[in-house]
Structure 1
Amino acid sequence: MIHKNKLLLTLALCGAVLTNCRQSQPAASADTVTASNQQAENAWPEVQRENKPWTRWWWMGSAVDEQNIDKQMSQYAEAGLGGVEIAPIYGAMDHESRYIDFLSPKWMGMLDYTVQKANNLNMGVDLTQGTGWPFGGPQVKPEFAAAKLIVQTYTLKAGQTLKETLKVQEAKQQELNPQLQAVMAYSGKGETLNITDKVTADGKLNWTPKSGTWTVYAAFNGKTRQMVKRAAPGGVGYTLDHLSDKAVNAYLQPFTEAFGGSNHGVRAFYNDSYEVYGANWSPTFFEEFQKRRGYDLRLYLKDLVSKEQTERVARLKADYRETMSEMLYDNFYKTWNNWAHQHKSFTKNQSHGSPGNLLDLYAAVDIPECETFGSSYFPIPGLRRDSADVRNVDPDPIMLKFASSAAHVAGKNLTSSETFTWLGEHFKTSYSQMKPEVEQVFLSGVNHVFYHGVTYSPEDVAWPGWLFYASLNLTPANSLWSHFGAFNNYIARVQSVLQSGKADNELLMYWPIHDVWSNPKGMEMLIKVHDIDEWLHPTQFYKQSQQLMDAGYSLDFVSDKMLQEAKVNNGQIVTASGAPTRKVLIVPQSKYMSETTFERVIALAKEGATVVLEELPTDVPGLQDLENRRKKLEQLVQSLTFTDAGQGVRQFKAGKGEILLSKNVQQALELKDIERETLTDTGLKFIRREIEGGKYYYLVNHTPKAIDTTIPLNMKAQSVVIMDPQSGKAGLSKSTSTNNKTNVRVQLKSGEALILKATNAPDPGLVAWQYLEQPGAPIAVTGDWNLHFTKGGPEVPADKKLTKLVSWTELGDKKAEAFSGSGEYTITFDLPAKNAGEYVLDLGKVSESARVWVNDQEVGHLWSIPFQARVGQYLKPGKNTLKVEVANLMANRIRDMDQKKLEWRKYHEINFVNIDYKAFDASVWKPMASGLIGPVTITPYVTTAQGQAKK
């Protein structure tokens, strides 16, 4: 279990969502407010460092020192970050004298100082186990470098002898000493001969065909020559051969020496997404294939490199890819895991991009990690999504679920995410854009967010400091930084809930990996985020998963290996110690299924499980012993005698359980009384966690409309507490229970989230949740606004008096147009009488984040759409003062610097590029709206604050 130092979260008074758990008329005493806030605080789990968001921390050139580490770590802790993941990369030009070689004694000293500082701040430290990506470096000698199969062909006719020496013709390969591994001869009549033993020590082929024309295939173990990408000083070298345990052990040896038997306080060692290109081989591949698949791959060398689109080629390549997957699992993941565990640390890994079964590879480590790349579309009114800032493939929740599914099935509590990679163009990303994106991550089962990222930057480097080319760059130099803590508090509250108890997903969905692998194109298959249009979206697995999730079912994905290890207990499927139990296994339509997997599916049913088949399997994958395996599958299928169960569902009673066969999977689930959460009919999205005596429901409204309705929960609860993660408020909901259902009234505006804690515990003593009813006419906050720019640059504009709220870029002031920072708006307005139950402040359009005070009392940060808060408790009849601090983006200042041709980016390697990986140039940008744009209104509401009703 991961050690978690406990630290209570300081809860903000109010936030973006319309939540406030008490009547504001008449005004409550300070003691009452304090007691109410304490009650709300006690409703939340204690926030520990794993609950807070962590961040990747780019060490450019590893040019770090104790003074700057001390200052920056303190800033990170103050902003609410729970930990850092150190990632050494290339450095900034003209600062080479500061560079520190990776794993040198001085570098290890900086690591030790960072860990010491982190411990003092109750933060954690993870470490990328290498520099840049993927794994590689100077310790990777040519024999251990990523390998590729090189095949050269020669034609010989009867009586001819090959005159040339069998050696790799590519000159660049010669220095890496490529080894000849097999020589095969194929005749025009379909004959195959292994003539490897006919090659002499000096590479001469001592073989002559007696008749016909033959093609000779010579197979060499070559090298990809790929170097570590974005390597830091001391980390330059070849990329590792991940398929070889000898290579992996050689790679880890310098870490063993540098760490000296200790983990030096590193919580987890991290491996980024695979990104090893062209590495389709390893020196022992022929032997591994023979052992794992049961036949000689050399006899099929011609098919392996063939471009023919035949079933035979597809089957061979499926076997080849399965072998590669197993070698990666056994030789890299097991070896790396053992090393980390010997050093009393965890492993954290991104499996996507790997040539293997993603579910098994994710499950092989302690903390599976997925990645969001690009931005998603959300129909939230007012949410900016600039077309120029959009990548070609949107993040897909189902892709994210591969990591969380592996964690849930393997009984591991944490699923992390590298979050916000290229969410938008540099310097243009707002908290309003980040919020629904991270909520989509949470809804996918992730509960341990890592920002991508912040960059270490010395204090003496001019603004904007050192920056990484693909990062969100939420550094202390960012004009939004002063409001960062409020966003981090939101994530911490959500993660404190999503790390509690266990995942509560009732279904297991089998992933037919062999359908993916049985593709005749290419050789190794990297299952990448960027290629989901090819390997994921067209499949019935994807379509069925999406349909079930949309309908309100909760599910995780499961692999062949996971099914083999599963057990059944009292009709529930158990996949691992500590993993949640599942009610049903679903097998979607697929072309190929292993006979051993189908046999295990039937066995699970006989042991008491419920299995739903969309279709019966029709064929086995691969080439090994094909006819016997086909016959075995056919016998298994014929052993199932189905009867009509009604509504298009056929049923086979198998031992203690049963198998249902239906094209309509949802119909089969209904037949077994597996109920969906019908709350999704409202448009709400959810994820559940099971806790002792109840459940948490995390609800998000990503629809374009406000939702005010009563939703049913699939459980009977004595009490339901509404918890607002935006503000930290909590209160007892209006709910009723009947027929094992609990109906709860919820109010969420577009872009808002709520958490429901439904338990069998009696009334927890919280005040009632206050619902807003019958809005009155909005009161416009108009008059003379005083605008005072507080901090930022390049120059702080002079104070302004405004009769109308407009963007800073429309003030007719060049300093204001170029300004990035914060400004305070103040205004005095009249409230004729205070007789409503509640008053809601709406700031209208905010570019981009606000902090609000009413009558010198802080309301809180409003950092996301909708920019609204309940303010009744702060208002008084007559004169009132409103103060709003607004922070804008960095974009306008960067634009100004580029227009003035000021040099602020000068790095080795890729330097600094835009979202399309082209030279970055902000001089052509249009100024981005900044400040409080409004209109600002206050709306009175009638309120109801009802306790739980029981029937």
Structure 2
Amino acid sequence: MKFKLLFVVLLFICCINTISKAQLKKLKSDFEKPANIYKPGVYWYFMDGNMTAETITKDLESMKKAGIGNLIFLEVNVGVPRGKVDFLSDEWTTLFAHAEKEARRLGIEITLGIGPGWTGSGGPWVKGNQSMQHLVSSQVIVSSKDRKIITLPVPPPKAPFFGEGGFTPEFKKEWQNYYEDVAVLAFPMIKTDEKIKDIDEKALYQRAPFSSGTVKANLAPPSGINGNPQSAIAKNQIIDLTGKMLPNGTLNWTPPTGTWKIMRFGSRNNGAITRPAPFPGIGFESNKMDTTALNAHLDFYLGKIFSKIGKIEKNQPGGLKRLHMDSWEMGAQNWTPNFRKEFTKRRGYDPLKYYPVYAGNVVGNLKESERFLWDLRQTAQELVLENHANHVKEYAKKHNLTLSIEPYDMNPTSDLELGSVADVPMAEFWSKGFGFNSTYSVIEATSIAHVMGRSLVPAEAFTAQDNEGWKQHPTSMKNQGDWAFASGINRFVYHTFQNQFLPDSLKPGATMGPYGVHWDRSQTWWPMVDSYHEYVTRCQYLLQQGRTVADILYLTPEGSPNVFEPPLSAIVGDTIGDRKSYNFDGCAPGQLMKASVKNNKIVFPSGASYEILVLPIYETMTPDLLEKIGSLINQGATVLGNPPLRSPSLTNYPQCDVMVKNLVAQIWGKGLLADQLVPRKYGKGQIISGKSIDNQKDKLYPNYEITAKILKSKGIQEDFTTDAKIRYTHRTSDDWDIYFISNTTKNPIKANVHFRSSKGSPELWNAINGTTKRITQFKVEKGVTSLPMELDAYESAFIVFDKGNNWQSNNNPTAQINQDLQTLNAPWKINFDEKWGGPKEVVFNNLLDWTKSDVEGIKYYSGLATYKQDFEFKGKNKNAIYLNLGEVKNMARVKLNGKEVGVLWTAPWQLNISDFVKTGKNELEIEVVNLWPNRLIGDEKKPYDGVVNGQWPEWLLKNQPRTSGRFTFTTTQQYNANSPLLPSGLIGPVKIVQK
């Protein structure tokens, strides 16, 4: 019997190992050449009617050849003269259908924004009563002694956040004309007229862009102070006069004794327009709280497109696959026709008598008014989530599409709550040094995806403005790209591929004004970019497998607007900070309500699990959320945080505060908080609290070191540690662990690295070339695998542990050979392209930076140049032979003896030539490409012949020869004749080395 049992166990282990090996084999095979769905994407921008079927096809075919697998289609109007194809005309929809058909042919996925421009969902077809609205007011002061007719002025609209600069005359007239009365209220004049601070933000009249640094991540919790009693309006003295106002604004009412203030409330458009939309698409943003308004917009806009392209098949490999809500830039909305009804249903009381609070008045007392404002924002959030985001998602589903959302920037809701609606939560990050810092959105989108179990987390990647000017390229973007991967992003969608509607002879060609890293077929290095895209694709493939490992879960405060910002102490570095040795995610209250506890971990339906929940340092919490947290602790969770003092809401007030106090006493116990951290058992779990939590530099959360210390005390090892500057992220499944690591410095490093995994012997997977190899020097102790690591400048690697790998460590590794065999210092023949001003052929006796040349055609050259040299090779092929190019500006393609060896775009700047080099004479050819700025700068010394006052030049309109002598043409000027030139060419030294 024992023998049979042992046999079964051994058979089971054997089967498990066989399955694991099969899984690893497939993982390796797919890693070498991942499927199209793992390729990066682009924002494909069209400029207000400048589009043709020919250039659409050229763009898409160039994407396919370069390794782009998906795109986001948007049409805007930024800095380019209008074209001939009116947005949404029959010709336009025919061209879109052509693009969609071509994308299907090429297997490229299309994601479509749900409105013109990039802002939101609207257009000139949206009328005022179906637009985003504010509750605005006017007021008059009357006395019982007056005998004149009371006339109430029509309340004016609020000034648009972005001003009226984008308004067409027709739109401005409609904006001014739209008005609907809502209510009239009167109340006795109060002795002092104190106003609530920051009322425009608190009452959702505006929400400034968070990325610009003008607003806080979240509003302060509702005040616990009553304020000055003499500045408050008594609710029982407010009189509803709505039915007594005549259509002409006069009031059929005689004031009682005393002086009275009368407020007229009405609905106005919030001034948000589709921006920056093509001219025929400029109009109101549709109401984000009303499904009827949204349906009217979607049916008009998308309906025209759907009717032209035909039925969308669910599993088609390319073409239209997804709808998209880009970064929220429509501002805030605090009114919709049924807002009072919805508010009463959701909050349990009628908001009518609190309408004066919208204008900053205090009703009841300050504490009460602030709670009303919290309820107002919460109601607005619920309506936006249900009637806008979720409704778009359902609309998409009916058409076999999914929905992606960038839930940030001017979002009047909680970013995490909005993003959790998406099938695909999306982030945005700008090229470092070339624009805004929106890296917080990366932390948000990845948190949403991890908690919700979304495998795909794209980012609008490397966005830039003004001073970028074609400076970015794969090499310069390597470090920041690896930061994004380590932060959880697993699809780059480069911003931007501008549709190149101009003739191919005019380069760099059309731009999106001064915006975007230029990721299109007019780039100098575009013919070589596929090599970089292969690296990105392999990374994205592995980073979409399994699930992310994170130990810490930070809960955001309740309410809106809200941006998740982790404690700075949990991040290493500045703008592109990296995670410390315990990874983390953020979680919104709405998401936490779906969590449970298993094996003392907080677990979500998606499978995401966390060792500890960290509460915000915040004074308020609703009884419902507090009860949920208590339930999680009772089931076995570990929670770090101090108790709330009261509810933020007027719902069930003041009983809600009593409920909070009672729950606090149950969970935290009675009595004052201890000075230091104290754990308290509650059910199967524990709550850890103490005054020391509040004495931290990180204002909203306890210092990371406090949380890390608790995890260590629970016996939870750090996920990744090292003695060098290396970032990481960790993906896992039942059978394997995958770590992505990268050197964050520009210098080669040697390091000792430690991984919290012992699922088999480690392997190194190289995403640059798709190769994998065993790591034979390692040590496993207490579930941690340690090994030595060497990484070149900004070099990255995947370290893979799999249950099917079981080789032993070699504690006496063979010394690695690194020997320079010869330096190629003979003269180089170099061919430049005469079309771009370069000499047909020159000889360089020594390699040098082109900008140091006395020849103007070389000094200002931009484009491809071919270096040629013959050399004698006397070495033996016993060991691997590499060609090392030294310094390259900016990319290079190597051919040896007539065969292509490969493309180099990052360190180490070397290729294995063992299979190409031969004893004796060898013919070496190196194609080197630099960037556009040098030729653009050189051309600034010649007469300007470009766009002037929004008009194309005559020579272009009439297809005449250019007479300026310029080589380049573009739709934006970002350089002058004195701008500094960029180092260019093969600078070397070029060596043959043996390894």
Q: What TM-score do you get using the length of structure 1 for normalisation?
A: 0.83
Cα distance in structure 2, aligned partners of 1:107 and 1:72? 17
Amino acid at match of 1:144: Q
What do the CA deviations read for 1:855-906 (whole angstroms, capped 9, x no partner)? Answer: 5554422213453445566556666554322111111223344443444447
Cα distance in structure 2, aligned partners of 1:637 and 1:766? 53
Aligned to 1:256: 303
Cα distance in structure 2, aligned partners of 1:205 and 1:909? 54
| 1:324 partnered with 2:380 | yes
| 1:291 partnered with 2:382 | no
Go from structure 1 to structure 2 and tell me whether the alpha carbon gap of 1:705 and 1:836 turns closer, same or farther (over 3 Å shift). Answer: farther
Cα distance in structure 1, aligned partners of 2:951 and 2:426? 26
Cα distance in structure 2, aligned partners of 1:313 and 1:433? 52
Aligned to 1:196: 242
Go from structure 1 to structure 2 and tell me whether the alpha carbon gap of 1:290 and 1:311 turns closer, same or farther (over 3 Å shift). Answer: same
Aligned to 1:10: none
Offset at residue 642 of structure 1 (A) = 6.7
Offset at residue 178 of structure 1 (A) = 0.6
Amino acid at match of 1:337: K
| 1:569 partnered with 2:612 | no
| 1:468 partnered with 2:454 | no
Alpha-carbon contact 2:899-2:916 (below 8 Å) kept: yes
Aligned to 1:21: none
Cα distance in structure 2, aligned partners of 1:768 and 1:113? 61
Give the 5 Å matches for 1:335-414. Answer: 335-353=391-409, 354-375=411-432, 390-391=434-435, 393-396=436-439, 398-414=440-456
What do the CA deviations read for 1:343-369 (whole angstroms, capped 9, x no partner)? Answer: 110111111121101111111011111
What do the CA deviations read for 1:108-162 (whole angstroms, capped 9, x no partner)? Answer: 4333332332232222122222221322113211211222232212112233355
Aligned to 1:208: 254
Alpha-carbon contact 1:506-1:555 (below 8 Å) kept: yes
Go from structure 1 to structure 2 and tell me whether the alpha carbon gap of 1:819 and 1:40 turns closer, same or farther (over 3 Å shift). Answer: farther
Cα distance in structure 2, aligned partners of 1:366 and 1:413? 10
For residue 266 of structure 1, give the secondary structure of its aligned residue in structure 2.
strand
Match of 2:728 among 681, 686, 691: 686
| 1:616 partnered with 2:626 | no
Alpha-carbon contact 1:831-1:879 (below 8 Å) kept: yes
Alpha-carbon contact 1:62-1:89 (below 8 Å) kept: no
For residue 682 of structure 1, give the secondary structure of its aligned residue in structure 2.
coil
Aligned to 2:104: 119
| 1:334 partnered with 2:378 | no
What do the CA deviations read for 1:203-232 (whole angstroms, capped 9, x no partner)? Answer: 222233323332222221101343321323
Cα distance in structure 2, aligned partners of 1:804 and 1:549? 41
Aligned to 1:915: none
Match of 2:663 among 620, 630, 636: 636
Go from structure 1 to structure 2 and tell me whether the alpha carbon gap of 1:769 and 1:701 turns closer, same or farther (over 3 Å shift). Answer: farther
Structure 1 unaligned blocks of 5 or more:
1-37, 377-389, 518-524, 528-534, 912-917, 944-951
For residue 249 of structure 1, give the secondary structure of its aligned residue in structure 2.
helix
Aligned to 2:326: 272
Aligned to 1:719: 761
Cα distance in structure 1, aligned partners of 2:454 and 2:27? 29
Q: Percent identity?
A: 22
Go from structure 1 to structure 2 and tell me whether the alpha carbon gap of 1:51 and 1:62 turns closer, same or farther (over 3 Å shift). Answer: farther
Go from structure 1 to structure 2 and tell me whether the alpha carbon gap of 1:857 and 1:930 turns closer, same or farther (over 3 Å shift). Answer: farther
Aligned to 1:748: 791
For residue 454 of structure 2, give the secondary structure of its aligned residue in structure 1.
coil
Offset at residue 665 of structure 1 (A) = 1.6
Aligned to 2:35: 48
Offset at residue 801 of structure 1 (A) = 1.3
Cα distance in structure 1, aligned partners of 2:138 and 2:595? 45
Offset at residue 908 of structure 1 (A) = 6.0
Give the 5 Å matches for 1:382-531. Answer: 390-391=434-435, 393-396=436-439, 398-422=440-464, 425-458=468-501, 460=503, 462-469=506-513, 470-514=515-559, 517=560, 525=561
For residue 618 of structure 1, give the secondary structure of its aligned residue in structure 2.
coil
Number of residue-to-residue matches in the alignment: 860
Alpha-carbon contact 1:541-1:589 (below 8 Å) kept: no
Q: What TM-score do you get using the length of structure 2 for normalisation?
A: 0.79
Amino acid at match of 1:156: V
Amino acid at match of 2:184: V
Amino acid at match of 1:167: V
Aligned to 2:182: 181
Go from structure 1 to structure 2 and tell me whether the alpha carbon gap of 1:327 and 1:546 turns closer, same or farther (over 3 Å shift). Answer: farther
Aligned to 1:934: 987
Give the 5 Å matches for 1:221-236. Answer: 221-232=267-278, 234-236=280-282
Cα distance in structure 1, aligned partners of 2:246 and 2:879? 95
Amino acid at match of 1:699: I
Structure 2 unaligned blocks of 5 or more:
1-24, 158-171, 191-232, 314-318, 694-705, 954-970
Cα distance in structure 2, aligned partners of 1:185 and 1:245? 33
Go from structure 1 to structure 2 and tell me whether the alpha carbon gap of 1:649 and 1:876 turns closer, same or farther (over 3 Å shift). Answer: farther
Go from structure 1 to structure 2 and tell me whether the alpha carbon gap of 1:673 and 1:907 turns closer, same or farther (over 3 Å shift). Answer: farther
| 1:602 partnered with 2:630 | yes
Higher relative contact order (CA 8 A, sep 6+): 1
Go from structure 1 to structure 2 and tell me whether the alpha carbon gap of 1:181 and 1:708 turns closer, same or farther (over 3 Å shift). Answer: same
Go from structure 1 to structure 2 and tell me whether the alpha carbon gap of 1:811 and 1:603 turns closer, same or farther (over 3 Å shift). Answer: same
Cα distance in structure 1, aligned partners of 2:811 and 2:115? 53
Cα distance in structure 2, aligned partners of 1:480 and 1:907? 31
Aligned to 1:554: 583
Cα distance in structure 2, aligned partners of 1:771 and 1:107? 65
Cα distance in structure 1, aligned partners of 2:834 and 2:251? 74
Cα distance in structure 2, aligned partners of 1:655 and 1:288? 38
Cα distance in structure 2, aligned partners of 1:86 and 1:272? 11
Offset at residue 46 of structure 1 (A) = 5.1
Cα distance in structure 2, aligned partners of 1:796 and 1:616? 71
Cα distance in structure 2, aligned partners of 1:159 and 1:93? 63
Alpha-carbon contact 1:775-1:939 (below 8 Å) kept: no
Cα distance in structure 2, aligned partners of 1:736 and 1:195? 80
For residue 609 of structure 2, give the secondary structure of its aligned residue in structure 1.
coil
Cα distance in structure 2, aligned partners of 1:565 and 1:223? 37
For residue 619 of structure 1, give the secondary structure of its aligned residue in structure 2.
coil
Aligned to 1:163: 150
What do the CA deviations read for 1:569-607 (whole angstroms, capped 9, x no partner)? Answer: 34333323x342333322242233223212101101222
Q: Which moved more, 1:146-155 or 1:340-349?
A: 146-155
